Homo-oligomer: A and B are copies of this chain.
Amino acid sequence: MGETETLSVADDEGSPFDVFSRLCPSRGTLEHVTGRWGSLTLGALYESGARFNELRRRVDGVSEKMLSQTLHALERDGLVLREAQFTNPPRVDYELTDLGRAVATRLLELIQLVEGRMPEVLEARARYDAARAD
């Protein structure tokens, strides 16, 4: 960042990683954990591990393909653990790693904030739309 920037929030940590920088790998990880399905998948695994189909039910609306892609990205980033059990039929369980749990905790705090403040959001939307309908 240029020396006139003031994003000390990101710099305070002394981390060499910076999501505001396009080429930093942390941006990809932030996208995996905050993406359309990544955040819901991590949140859905917070209470307990789950099998694939159980997860699909918890994350209402996700397709099989998208859930599969999401889980692979989260597994690759070390946030989700995939455990295949060689039973017949084979059974695959997913659960959060310690890192995944730390991330999911922050995500759920965000989710609870958003859910709790939705009345304000809906009022703001109504005002915004009314001002433009004049």
On whether the beta carbons of A20 and B40 are closer than 8 Å, the reply is yes
The copy count of this chain in the complex is: 2
On whether the beta carbons of B120 and A113 are closer than 8 Å, the reply is no
A128: chain B residues at CB < 8 Å are: 75-76, 78
A115: chain B residues at CB < 8 Å are: 10, 13, 15, 17-19, 26
On whether the beta carbons of A118 and B17 are closer than 8 Å, the reply is yes
On whether the beta carbons of A110 and B103 are closer than 8 Å, the reply is yes
| A16-31 interface code vs B (CB 8 A; 1 in, 0 out) | 0111111001100111
A43–B10 alpha-carbon span in the complex (Å): 9
Interface size on A, residues (CB 8 A): 67
Supplied contacts A20-B60, A25-B121, 13 more A-B pairs, CB within 8 Å: A10-B111, A10-B112, A10-B115, A15-B116, A18-B115, A30-B111, A33-B110, A34-B39, A34-B110, A75-B128, A76-B125, A78-B127, A102-B113
Top 3 A-B pairs, shortest CB-CB distance: A78-B124, A22-B61, A34-B34
Return 16 A-B CB contacts under 8 Å, by A number.
Answer: A2-B57, A6-B47, A9-B47, A10-B43, A10-B111, A10-B112, A20-B40, A20-B58, A26-B118, A26-B121, A30-B110, A31-B36, A33-B110, A34-B35, A76-B129, A78-B125
